Chain A
């Protein structure tokens, strides 16, 4: 049963096309990364998922049902631009937001206190929001999105502006939530986080979907054709006919081969020639490279008047 199903959704603001024909599915227990450059339609897509705006065409399904506001009690949302009532005490604020999500006051209070402890901000409970640091405010909003134990957690740029310690704390929390079987969707620019955390991704640019699927699937589309070799001695193996491009930085060679099989031949040849190999690594394409390549292509094609097929 998919948690989120977007079917060919489209949204136009006046003349600007924000989202065009977006289709994606999020399964339970997955960490889903929504990637894309600034202004690519990530936030617009998220807003349609939670019914803040309605798509001009296409359908949104949540928890295998057509979108309905009552389903929102099972969704936790952390917007990109954080907002809390400045003059309100942290605990009152959390209880209020919990109640809006359908909790009764006692439960909301109990859970708020437990979460504050878990997120290591117990000392902030009685303070007003305006007295807190930005990172702390972000943690509070993070808690607010999770108080009602949602089955779907949607977070727009959850780690931006956090120090590494707090970012790790949030990541660990998200991982724990995933292991409880919840679906988590987050958008980010930080590819290293996506690479570490996500099971599946969707890459959008200019409102259109460029890539989507599980991390392994996507990477398998990109050839593992780059090799880094750290060696001492004879470098004549670099003249192997299967090597397309080779750079030798005195003992560290970066080569590009025709296909994956060539890499093993190169290694065999180097060993045969008596070169001492310290390290031999077939490098996977990083998500960052895939991202940049695809986004560049989408912009280039668009400028050339072409269409992007993804």
Chain B
């Protein structure tokens, strides 16, 4: 245990002191900040602001529509109103083809044949790809028509406002899917990133020791499993430090008043303390589990190139989890979901996902933790075997039967 601690400590201190670590730790939050502020800024500028023309004989409808489009929630358009006449269409068509004109399209309102029916609408656009404008017109028309209809039935303006106001359902008591999905995705991408960055670093650090032949001195005093465990913990702690710093930075960023004023006050803020606890628990276990796979890969290979060929063993289980995510969200308590979430390679993502979706029995949570721990130790045991034999016969790339035979050596 003492030796494992020494190895881990050395690994941690040496890595944290490198320029690469410091640069990545500082730069990523800066980029993250730039991205958040940048997209918030872009978002505020992205209201549809096209210039269109509305041709209608119904001036009340025209005015309402103009009002809605020019001052609506998410549109900031310029609307010209005109009465239909023989020349109107020709003039507008000419404008659409004129490059110097800013007209994006025109809406032609044909009055209904039978009074009381809906008029029909035709929108001719300069560009067929201008979906935003089209969408804005459709939603504006919808609310204008409804308002008109309700008014015609004798409803007061204030009553209409109250009726039209959007409904909010509070689902925080039972946990909501959006939050769960958000948490699962965050976890997935965090895991993916950290495993690819630091899991591979564990493997690399093992390979580095092989090429520099330091291991020979180390193995003269300590056991391979102590060495590998030390590596996983040391490199892991570096990863957690970095993620921790990024998380704090992200937290500070999203709670800063500047960000709040730009993004709007409706943050997520719905993840409960228990969920955060499980998130951390499964994150740590997932990290250790995948790092130990990476350590096994490092123990098997002699160079970075060989390692690259094997890194699918890290990615495949993660991809499998991603696929399962969709069937779990539909039925989080189905047998399939329960079995899959107990597979040690999937528990970190899927069990946590289920916990955020539904009430998972405590025994299942405990079982997943026990299974994950057992798997970590099993992988460590196997890879330390491979490591010990592998390093003594370096130079040659092992094949599977050889690796299996190595397990028998001690």
Q: Which residues of A contact B (CB under 8 A)?
A: 13-14, 47, 50, 52-54, 69, 72-73, 75, 77, 79, 81-88, 96-97, 99-101, 141, 144-145
Q: Is B410 an interface residue when CB atoms closer than 8 A count as contact?
A: yes
Beta-carbon nearest neighbor of A53 in chain B: B392
Interface 0/1 of B26-67, CB less than 8 Å to A: 000000000000000000000000000000000000000000
6 CB-based A-B contacts, threshold 8 Å = A54-B410, A69-B223, A75-B220, A81-B213, A83-B213, A96-B6
Q: Is B215 an interface residue when CB atoms closer than 8 A count as contact?
A: yes
Per the bound structure, the CA–CA distance linking A77 and B219 in Å amounts to: 10
A-contacting residues, B241-292, CB 8 Å: none
Q: Determine if A83 and B216 form an interchain contact, defined as CB atoms under 8 angstroms apart.
A: yes
Contacts of A85 in B (CB 8 A): 14, 212, 214
Q: Determine if B392 and A101 form an interchain contact, defined as CB atoms under 8 angstroms apart.
A: no
A-contacting residues, B372-400, CB 8 Å: 388, 392-393
Q: Determine if A79 and B220 form an interchain contact, defined as CB atoms under 8 angstroms apart.
A: yes
Per the bound structure, the CA–CA distance linking A99 and B217 in Å amounts to: 13
Beta-carbon nearest neighbor of B224 in chain A: A52
Contacts of A83 in B (CB 8 A): 209, 212-217
Per the bound structure, the CA–CA distance linking A30 and B14 in Å amounts to: 40
Nearest CB of chain A from residue B400's CB, rounded to whole Å: 15
Nearest CB of chain A from residue B215's CB, rounded to whole Å: 7
Q: Is B149 an interface residue when CB atoms closer than 8 A count as contact?
A: no
Q: Determine if B214 and A72 form an interchain contact, defined as CB atoms under 8 angstroms apart.
A: no
Q: Determine if B221 and A73 form an interchain contact, defined as CB atoms under 8 angstroms apart.
A: yes
Contacts of B393 in A (CB 8 A): 13
Q: Determine if B14 and A87 form an interchain contact, defined as CB atoms under 8 angstroms apart.
A: yes
Contacts of A69 in B (CB 8 A): 223
> 10 closest A-B pairs (Cβ-Cβ)?
A83-B213, A79-B216, A83-B214, A77-B220, A81-B213, A83-B212, A50-B220, A100-B221, A54-B410, A96-B10
Contacts of B10 in A (CB 8 A): 88, 96
Per the bound structure, the CA–CA distance linking A100 and B215 in Å amounts to: 12
Q: Determine if B6 and A100 form an interchain contact, defined as CB atoms under 8 angstroms apart.
A: yes
Q: Determine if B221 and A72 form an interchain contact, defined as CB atoms under 8 angstroms apart.
A: yes
Contacts of B150 in A (CB 8 A): none
Q: Is B222 an interface residue when CB atoms closer than 8 A count as contact?
A: yes
Nearest CB of chain A from residue B410's CB, rounded to whole Å: 5
Per the bound structure, the CA–CA distance linking A81 and B222 in Å amounts to: 18
Per the bound structure, the CA–CA distance linking A86 and B213 in Å amounts to: 11
Beta-carbon nearest neighbor of A96 in chain B: B10
Per the bound structure, the CA–CA distance linking A141 and B222 in Å amounts to: 17
Beta-carbon nearest neighbor of B5 in chain A: A99
Point out the residue from A14, A75, A84, A99 that lies within 8 Å of B214, measured CB to CB: A84
Per the bound structure, the CA–CA distance linking A141 and B217 in Å amounts to: 9
Point out the residue from A47, A50, A77, A100 that lies within 8 Å of B392, measured CB to CB: A47
Q: Is B3 an interface residue when CB atoms closer than 8 A count as contact?
A: yes
Beta-carbon nearest neighbor of B389 in chain A: A53
Contacts of B405 in A (CB 8 A): 14
Point out the residue from A79, A101, A141 that lies within 8 Å of B221, measured CB to CB: A101
Contacts of B218 in A (CB 8 A): 100
Contacts of B223 in A (CB 8 A): 69
Contacts of B6 in A (CB 8 A): 96, 99-100
Known: A53-B392, A69-B223, A100-B222. A77 touches B217 (CB 8 A): yes
User: With A83-B209, A85-B212, A97-B217 given, can you name 8 additional A-B contacts, CB distance below 8 Å?
Assistant: A50-B220, A52-B220, A52-B388, A79-B213, A82-B213, A85-B14, A96-B6, A144-B217
Per the bound structure, the CA–CA distance linking A97 and B3 in Å amounts to: 10
Point out the residue from B3, B14, B392 that lies within 8 Å of A52, measured CB to CB: B392
Point out the residue from A47, A73, A79 that lies within 8 Å of B217, measured CB to CB: A79
Beta-carbon nearest neighbor of A129 in chain B: B212
Nearest CB of chain B from residue A112's CB, rounded to whole Å: 15
Per the bound structure, the CA–CA distance linking A14 and B409 in Å amounts to: 10
Contacts of B409 in A (CB 8 A): 53
Beta-carbon nearest neighbor of B391 in chain A: A52
Contacts of A145 in B (CB 8 A): 217
Per the bound structure, the CA–CA distance linking A54 and B219 in Å amounts to: 13
Q: Determine if B221 and A84 form an interchain contact, defined as CB atoms under 8 angstroms apart.
A: no
Contacts of B214 in A (CB 8 A): 83-85
Beta-carbon nearest neighbor of A145 in chain B: B217
Per the bound structure, the CA–CA distance linking A99 and B2 in Å amounts to: 9
Contacts of A101 in B (CB 8 A): 221
Most chain A beta-carbon contacts within 10 A, residue among B14, B214, B409: B214
Contacts of A53 in B (CB 8 A): 388, 392, 409
Per the bound structure, the CA–CA distance linking A47 and B410 in Å amounts to: 13
Contacts of A84 in B (CB 8 A): 212, 214
Nearest CB of chain A from residue B10's CB, rounded to whole Å: 5
Point out the residue from A54, A86, A96, A99 that lies within 8 Å of B212, measured CB to CB: A86
Per the bound structure, the CA–CA distance linking A291 and B405 in Å amounts to: 37
Interface 0/1 of B1-21, CB less than 8 Å to A: 001001000100010001000
Contacts of A77 in B (CB 8 A): 217, 220
Contacts of B215 in A (CB 8 A): 83
Interface 0/1 of B201-234, CB less than 8 Å to A: 0000000010011111111111100000000000
Per the bound structure, the CA–CA distance linking A13 and B392 in Å amounts to: 10
Beta-carbon nearest neighbor of B219 in chain A: A52
Nearest CB of chain A from residue B98's CB, rounded to whole Å: 67
Contacts of A79 in B (CB 8 A): 213, 216-217, 220
Nearest CB of chain A from residue B129's CB, rounded to whole Å: 54
Contacts of A54 in B (CB 8 A): 410
Beta-carbon nearest neighbor of B14 in chain A: A88
Nearest CB of chain B from residue A214's CB, rounded to whole Å: 28
Per the bound structure, the CA–CA distance linking A110 and B396 in Å amounts to: 42
Per the bound structure, the CA–CA distance linking A87 and B212 in Å amounts to: 11
Nearest CB of chain A from residue B295's CB, rounded to whole Å: 18
Nearest CB of chain A from residue B393's CB, rounded to whole Å: 7
Beta-carbon nearest neighbor of B10 in chain A: A96
Per the bound structure, the CA–CA distance linking A85 and B208 in Å amounts to: 9
Nearest CB of chain B from residue A290's CB, rounded to whole Å: 31
